[in-house]
Amino acid sequence: MGMTLTEKILANKAGKKEVAPGEIVTVEPTWVMSHDNSAAILLKFKKTGVKKVWDPEKVVIILDHTVPPPTAEYANNHRSIRNFVKEQGIVNFWDMNTGICHQVMAEKGYDLPGAVIVGADSHTTTPGAFGAFAAGIGRSEVAAIWATGKIWLRVPESYEIIVNGKLPKGVFAKDLALHIIGDVTAGGAVYKAVEFKGETIRDMTIASRMVLTNMSAEMGAKNGIIEADKKTEEYIKERKKAPYKVFHPDEDANYERRYEYDASDLVPKIAFPHTVDNVHDIDKAEDIEINQVFLGTCTNGRVEDLEIAARILKGKRIHPDVRMLVFPASWEVWREADEKGILRTLADAGAMVMNPGCGPCLGAHEGVLADGEKCLSTANRNFKGRMGNPNAEIYLGSPATAAATALKGRIADPREVL
């Protein structure tokens, strides 16, 4: 029996000829990632009685969630992480002047084909865009890996999601991701590997592919994955932190379920409060007045995202009743966007260009909403209270929809302004 991409990677890592869904394998992860929550993880680690992490070169720590820290408590957490990093000799540490963990993992060359990456963040599915197996795990399990160097994984059943056709003007990877999640539903792929294939995926930039694997978590998937190709190898050429091996799914691989989509008839999509699978065509949302537009996050804070927004807002001013917050996903993104004049264009339009990081996505700081307010966000989650106020509403859309909305003061179709 042939194997899916996920099965191939897990079999290779476990040193087995083949693996089947349901089987448990034990692997040494290529990288284990954590962020500001490393402060809690290191306390758990210390309780194990193990003195040194198993391999200080495979532990990756990236500070991104509350940067710079808004309270003394967060600041103390950051300090305890920095001390731990020094004490353990952890080389792959990126302080708060780097970017969002899932973006930094790509930029700094950890996201590699064939790698097994686990991290203490639910959107650790993102590296799947590079043909890696990548999944979110709990804090205790990260502490356990730091102590033992291994994790057991149940080989998931795979779904294949096949997308063909050219995305129409004004419709982007985010709209496709929302469309798929609306169809599969928030719990529709629980514990499954979702493998994205088809010409639409092959035509996508790496940044756009990352939107799909990032949002795989929102249908409950264990991991989202896309076969590596020339674009992948081009991206990682100068960045890679380790050797890698490209795997391909077998022709006769067994997929538990298949979803097929035609991208060419898609329209911009909006996920309504308070679940990510509450997805509607944009025309159902067009009268909704918006107080805040949030452009950024690990889902949509890359250069192509800021660029499309800048194209829409160039030479214009955003609606006076809207606050627009822009958070580039990393300082690398910030620099490139700066060189291209994107940040200046956005600021000239009235947007506030903020420091790279998770920003207000998780409601900790930098843009919390008032009671009764509505936000159009390019993030991946719109749960009640997600942005710090349970009495506010979050609508999810693409960066182009975000820019069109900022311009009009209500949810607006980007096809009208592109």
Partner 1 sequence: MGKVWKYGNDVNTDVIFPGKYTYKIMSDEEMASHALEDLDPNFAKNVKEGDVIVAGTNWGYGSSREQAVKCLKAAGIKAIIAESFARIYYRNCINLGLPAITLKKEDIDKFDAGDEVEVDIENGVITNKTKGFEVRFPPFEGYVMDIIKAGGIIEYIKNQGNRE
Residue of the chain from 57, 83, 97, 152 that contacts partner 1 (CB under 8 A): 152
d(CA 153, CA 19): 11
Q: How far is the CB of 14 from partner 1 (least distance, A)?
A: 9
Tokens standing for residue 402: 């975000």
Placement of tokens 């869904």 in the chain: 21
Tokens standing for residue 63: 């500070």
Q: Specify the stretch interacting with partner 1 by CB under 8 A; choose among 49-57, 112-120, 252-260, 324-332.
A: 49-57
Q: Specify the stretch interacting with partner 1 by CB under 8 A; choose among 116-124, 141-149, 267-275, 362-370.
A: 141-149
> Closest by alpha carbon to 256, among 180, 156, 182, 136?
156
d(CA 100, CA 81): 16
CA 352 to mean position of chain CA atoms = 22
Q: Specify the stretch interacting with partner 1 by CB under 8 A; choose among 140-148, 163-171, 322-330, 405-413.
A: 140-148
Q: Specify the stretch interacting with partner 1 by CB under 8 A; choose among 142-150, 166-174, 176-184, 233-241.
A: 142-150
Amino acid identity at 65:
H
Q: How far is the CB of 48 from partner 1 (least distance, A)?
A: 4
383 binds partner 1 (CB under 8 A): no
List Cβ neighbours of 244 (8 Å cut-off, separation of 6 or more): 112, 113, 114, 115, 236
Residue of the chain from 141, 203, 281, 304 that contacts partner 1 (CB under 8 A): 141
Burial of 47 (0-12, 13-18, 19+ CB in 10 A): exposed
86 binds partner 1 (CB under 8 A): no
166 binds partner 1 (CB under 8 A): no
Q: How far is the CB of 94 from partner 1 (least distance, A)?
A: 27
23 binds partner 1 (CB under 8 A): yes
Q: Which CB atom, from 163 or from 276, has the smaller least distance to partner 1?
A: 276
186 binds partner 1 (CB under 8 A): no
> Closest by alpha carbon to 224, among 269, 176, 169, 267?
176
List Cβ neighbours of 83 (8 Å cut-off, separation of 6 or more): none
Residues 285-304 that bind partner 1 (CB under 8 A): none
CA 198 to mean position of chain CA atoms = 21
Q: How far is the CB of 150 from partner 1 (least distance, A)?
A: 6
307 binds partner 1 (CB under 8 A): no
Residue of the chain from 144, 212, 271, 411 that contacts partner 1 (CB under 8 A): 144
For 333-390, give the DSSP string.
Answer: HHHHHHHTTHHHHHHHTTPEE--SS-GGGGSSSSSPPPTT-EEEE-SS---TTTTS-T
Q: How far is the CB of 25 from partner 1 (least distance, A)?
A: 7
The answer to whether 415 and 185 have CB atoms below 8 angstroms apart is no
- Count other C-beta atoms under 10 Å from residue 343's C-beta: 21
Residue of the chain from 2, 18, 43, 48 that contacts partner 1 (CB under 8 A): 48
Q: How far is the CB of 225 from partner 1 (least distance, A)?
A: 17
Q: How far is the CB of 50 from partner 1 (least distance, A)?
A: 4
Q: Specify the stretch interacting with partner 1 by CB under 8 A; choose among 67-75, 136-144, 244-252, 348-356.
A: 136-144
Residue of the chain from 13, 108, 209, 222 that contacts partner 1 (CB under 8 A): 222
Q: At 226, is the secondary structure helix, strand, or coil? A: strand
Footprint of partner 1 (CB under 8 A): 22-26, 48-51, 138, 140-141, 144, 147-148, 150, 152, 154, 190-191, 222
